[in-house]
Structure 1
Amino acid sequence: MIAVETKLGKENAKLTMAHMWVAFISLLIGGLMGLLQTLVRTGQVQLPFGIGYYQILTVHGVILALVLTTFFIIGFQFALMAKTVGMTNGERKWGWIAFWTMVIGTTATATMILLGKASVLYTFYAPLAAHPIFYFGLTFVVVGSWIACFVNFRQLYRWKKQNPGEKSPLLAFMVVINMLIWFISTLGVAATVLIQFIPWSLGLVDEINILVSRTLFWYFGHPLVYFWLLPAYMAWYGIIPKIIGGKIFSDSLARLAFILFLLFSIPVGFHHQLLEPGIDPFWKYIQVVLTFAVAIPSLLTAFSMFATFESAGRAKGAKTLFGWFKTLPWKDVRFLAPMIGMIAFVPAGAGGLVNASNQLNLVVHNTIWVTGHFHLTLATTVILTFFGISYWLIPVLRGRKLDAKTNRLGIIQTIVWTLGMFIMSGSMHIAGLLGAPRRSSYSDYGGTEQAAEWIGYQYAQAIGGSILFIGIILMLYTFIYMTFFAPKGTEEFPIAEEADNAAPTPIILENWRLWIGIAVVLIAFAYTIPFIDIIENSPPGSPTFKTLIGNF
């Protein structure tokens, strides 16, 4: 067996750090747009210089939900792969190509949005139309991410060739699972952009099949949630046990959870289209069942994490039923921020089950409840975990220490963020139950009888959004401090070990052909027949399945 380099290395650190810079600049821009939205919805603030509400709404969604997350995740995963399986010069070169391809695409897309030529929200639903450069920019971002996928695939493949018969490092296994989900799911958004939106925006075709475009988008849109979430799970499973002085409860359970995400996270897009006509209810039902199945790996994760916490506490001498709870390092921001993210995932997951339920979804569909749900899942569970990662990763990348000042700032920032999100997301959920619409400004409904009922919650959202923006400023200040001013030194890259008494990992969990094959079969089962049915039963004048295929 060939030993893996135990140091991240300066060149690999530069690659990850470049991704971090884009992510944190995106946090500032997207966060400012979010603050402006909450202020506009009170009806007391008007945007200057002719800036439109839906313009800033699009910037907020695209920059935070797509740009920040994608760059942070890919950068973090490059660091994990370099640390666990190594990175060759050639792999690093392609990593930089992926980065610059995504930067070019992001710049093009953001420019069109800021110029007011692509106020189409982050879902870019037709018949909303954007400038062709917006769609070409999206294409570059996706292609760049695909290059990163294949860099990660090759890294694990090379390691397996060099270490035949050895169990792959857990974090490397998780990275490859996440990038498989990303690659398979982005085939849908790539198809709709290349085949439908770009020709339409260039005037090469006069119309677009809206149901096909939405179906292809949500084939991608829900797995996107797990692309955000799984890096947080990587930190929970593979990093947090080391930080708390414990060990991974079960390597097998962790791998099984990630495999289940691969199987069940993609063939579920119809649960976002429950109220759309043109999709057979039978296939909606099938995908709702598969959506509920995704709860299983999350429940496995909850069990595994609390088993890890309890085991670590017992090892430190905790005797009573919940005595281990007191032994957790609550004053260490590397633990506190992700732990609050974990706790937030309980109501976030419950809200997700509401959204996926055919009957309950009727109550909250297209209300601001859904926006509140996103802010619990992505903006709390995921982003707080990403912040927790940053507090040790940035010092590692920059050759600096996580000193007492950084830790203190981090704890304050975590508390501020939690408070702001509790107020804003909570008021969104309540207003949604009262029927307040999502994706809308005060000018859309001001003066109506319903608006009088919602306005108090709009003010609460503005208060929460303002507190969150303070949290963003604190995070950016801490990021700059960690990057340039923290004391120089060597910070630990905290990768946990498996518990000594854990059961051996079954070899079948690394049978890639088996799991990818099952995933493809599930996707084909969930989408082939309904997709053909959607095209064949489209309105008069729309292309049939045969003519669509014939165009190629």
Structure 2
Amino acid sequence: MNKALEKIDRKDAKLAMAHLYVAFTALALGGLAGLLQVLVRSGKFELPANIGYYQVLTTHGVLLGLILTTFFILGFQTAAVSRTSGTFSDGQRLTGWIGFWVMLIGTAMSATMILLNEASVLYTFYAPLKAHWIFYLGLTFVVVGSWVDGAAQISKYISWRKQNPGQPGPLLTFMAIINVVLWIVATLGVAAEVLFQLLPWSLGLVDRVDILISRTLFWYFGHPLVYFWLLPAYMCWYVIIPKIIGGKIFSDSLARMSFILFLLFSIPVGLHHQLTEPGIDAGWKFLQVVLTFMVVIPSLMTAFSLFATFETYGRSQGAKGVFGWIKKLPWKDARFAVPFIGMVAFIPAGAGGLINASFQLNQVVHNTIWVTGHFHLTLATSVVLTFFGIAYWLVPHLTGRVLTPAMNKLAIVQAFTWAIGMTIMSSAMHLAGLFGAPRRSSFSTYGDAQQAMDWIPYQIAQAIGGSILFLGIILVLVIFINLAFFAPKGEEEFPIGEVEENAEKTPMILENWKIWITLTIALILIAYTVPFMEMFQNGPIGSKGYRLW
């Protein structure tokens, strides 16, 4: 590795940190809204000052599901591209700053409308719930700003390829670009929904929208959104964790191929979120269920690669027996231990995802709080804990400080606090969902008092788990502030793993973007062309009009 690239340029670091400041601010505010949610659902707490339950629900969903994730991911990827492909040019960095400020302005617009109770539409902003037009315009700014931000990373990758013809791009940069491409293609759906349906509707330019098309456009975006969150965690697991434990990346080619498969199979699968909705032919739903299950392949590839890396390292340290290598892993290093807890959580999270995507089992859990519990295992545990683990070395690296032993111990305490709280809360959600407890409902919104009383034990368990989670948020904020402003000055490593010496050479076809983008577009067209044609024929502009609202 070129020594000049081991420390990120100060100007690039400033851009990356700007993203992280916004992300952790969103964590604080969105986490508080989440605490208020679970307290209200317990039936033992009422919101003050006429604050609505769905107001805090929307705040929680938008700030944590969209703002925290998008800002953290783009900040991390900015740092990763700078670290592995070299310092951004002035023009590329300016592009990144423009994207950042457009996103921040959009965030402020949307947050203002939520706080004014003019946009209590959940983070999915389902019609016929209607928000103020400023909310929709703000989210449009967030999406467009993210495109501009991502364009800076793509530009840097292109310039690296021009300077190094015939060579595969740095693995971490390649992964970041895959995620940017996935994000841009996926957000075309939500951008179309907002610009052509929700925004004109909220401005009064049209008096109705086609709800089925609206939801289909959202879920075209909504499922790959999960992989936009997940792939940066995979970047850490594939490339950074091997360096932290002292091992090697098992296979560069396998890592790239798994990311390509995520690009191919994560976008044309949104209909599996709409399995119970009328107006979509069952055959097309089934096709997308099949494509959804294809995502299992790169997930299993990732699990194989990770545990191959762990075992190879353990054996090199003298581990004996089938599981002896486990003892050799650096359990006292928060940079490893915190993401590892996220990896473990992904096992039940992935199993729950298979149930959600199943053509039959989905009927049992659809639109119950089981889905919310699953969501909190994937994003709020596997992904977020890995993000925290990244932050514990990335923030001091960017600010010229060090992760002290005290903060390292506190980080491990924070991760176990999070794991305990999430186990309690998510388990209660899954169990209540199996018994039919509805999603997104509070104690006061159930149909009758007896039904509300039936769910009280589960709601109280959620409140206990959620309160422990909020303690975990306080701890991570303490650590973040310390690492950003108060930790001792020094040099913290940006760990980048090296590939095993005997690994196969990476074939250049894996970076033939014409092939992979063409295949992605082809799969999207196969999965969505006929369903959309049928929606247009039977919707507001068609003869039947049974979905008008």
How has the CA–CA distance of structure 1 residues 542 and 421 changed in structure 2, closer, same or farther, with 3 Å as cutoff? Answer: farther
Matching residue of 1:143: 144
* 1:154 positional shift: 1.0
Cα distance in 1 for partners of 2:446, 2:523 equals 43
Q: Secondary structure at the match of 1:271?
A: helix
Distance in 2 (alpha carbons) for counterparts of 1:452 and 1:113: 30
Give the Å deviation of 1:3: 9.1
What is the alpha-carbon distance in structure 1 between the residues aligned to residue 319 and residue 187 of structure 2?
47
Aligned residue in 2 for 1:287: 288
CA distance in 2, matches of 1:423, 1:447: 26
The residue type equivalent to 1:296 in the other structure is I
1:516 aligns with 2:521: no
Distance of 1:204 and 1:539 partners within structure 2: 15
**Identity score, percent:** 66
Maintained 8 Å contact 2:96/2:150: no
* TM-aligned CA distance change 1:342 to 1:313, over 3 Å: same
Q: How does 1:255-404 map to 2 (within 5 A)?
A: 255-404=256-405
Q: What residue identity is the alignment partner of 2:331?
A: W
Q: Distance in 1 between matches of 2:159 and 2:108?
A: 33
Give the corresponding residue for 1:74: 74
Q: CA deviation at 1:542?
A: 8.0
Report how far residue 446 of structure 1 moved: 7.1
Cα shift at 1:7: 2.2
Contact 1:2/1:163 (<8 A) preserved: no
Check the 8 A contact 2:102/2:141 in 1, yes or no. yes
Distance 1:276 1:480 in 2: 46
DSSP-derived class of the 1:495 partner: coil
Give, as a single letter, the amino acid of the residue that structure 1 aligns with 2:274: Q
Partner in structure 2 of residue 98 of structure 1 = 99
Give the 3-state SS of the residue equivalent to 2:402 in structure 1.
coil
In the superposition, the TM-score normalised over structure 1's length comes to 0.97
Runs of 4+ in 1 over 6 A off after TM superposition: 1-4, 540-544
Provide the residue aligned with 1:58 in structure 2: 58
- Alignment check: 8 A CA contact 1:43 1:446 kept: no
Q: Which amino acid aligns with 2:474?
A: I
Whether 1:428 and 2:433 are equivalent positions in the alignment is no
Contact kept? 1:4, 1:85, Cα under 8 Å: no
Q: For residues 100 and 91 of structure 1, what CA distance do their matches in structure 2 show?
A: 15
CA RMSD of aligned residues (A): 1.4
CA distance in 2, matches of 1:101, 1:540: 35
User: Structure 1 stretches of 5 or more lacking a match?
Assistant: 545-552
- Partner SS for 1:165: coil
Does the 8 Å contact 1:248/1:499 carry over to 2? yes
2 CA distance for matches of 1:243 and 1:358? 41
Contact 2:245/2:336 (CA < 8 Å) preserved in 1? yes
Q: Is 1:274–1:284's contact at 8 Å kept on the other side of the alignment?
A: yes
Deviations 1:456-486 (A, max 9, x none): 0100000000000000001101111111111
Name the CA distance, whole Å, in 2 between partners of 1:410 and 1:446: 43
Q: In structure 2, how many angstroms separate the alpha carbons of the residues matched to 1:539 and 1:532?
A: 13
The residue type paired with residue 13 of structure 1 is A
Deviation of residue 532 (structure 1)? 0.8
CA distance in 2, matches of 1:89, 1:454: 57
**TM-score between the two structures when normalised by the length of structure 2:** 0.97
Query: 1:362-511 to 2 correspondence within 5 Å?
Result: 362-445=363-446, 447-511=448-512
CA distance 1:73–1:542, change in 2 (3 Å) = farther
TM superposition shift of 1:449: 3.1
d(CA) in 2 for partners of 1:185, 1:445: 35
| Distance of 1:4 and 1:259 partners within structure 2 | 29
CA-CA distance at 1:451 after TM superposition: 2.6
Unpaired runs of 5+ in structure 2? none
Instruction: Judge conservation of contact 2:166–2:508 (CA < 8 Å) in 1.
Output: no
CA distance in 2: counterparts of 1:175 and 1:403, whole angstroms: 29
Q: Distance in 1 between matches of 2:377 and 2:320?
A: 34
Q: Which residue of 2 aligns with 1:547?
A: none
Matched, 1:41 2:30: no
Amino acid at match of 1:105: G
> 1:2 touches 1:162 (CA, 8 Å); kept in 2?
no
> Number of aligned pairs?
544
d(CA) in 2 for partners of 1:245, 1:144: 38
Q: CA deviation at 1:541?
A: 6.8
Contact 2:352–2:374, Cα closer than 8 Å, also in 1: yes
8 Å contact 1:417–1:467 — kept in the other structure? yes
Contact 2:26/2:64 (CA < 8 Å) preserved in 1? yes
Flag the 1:237–1:516 CA change in 2: closer, same or farther, 3 A.
same
Give the counterpart letter for 1:400 in structure 2. Answer: R
Q: 1:447 Cα deviation (Å)? A: 4.8
Query: Helix, strand or coil: the match of 1:239?
Result: helix
Gap change, CA 1:240 and 1:542, over 3 Å in 2: farther
Contact 1:209 1:542 in 2 (8 A): no
State the 1:452 CA deviation. Answer: 2.6
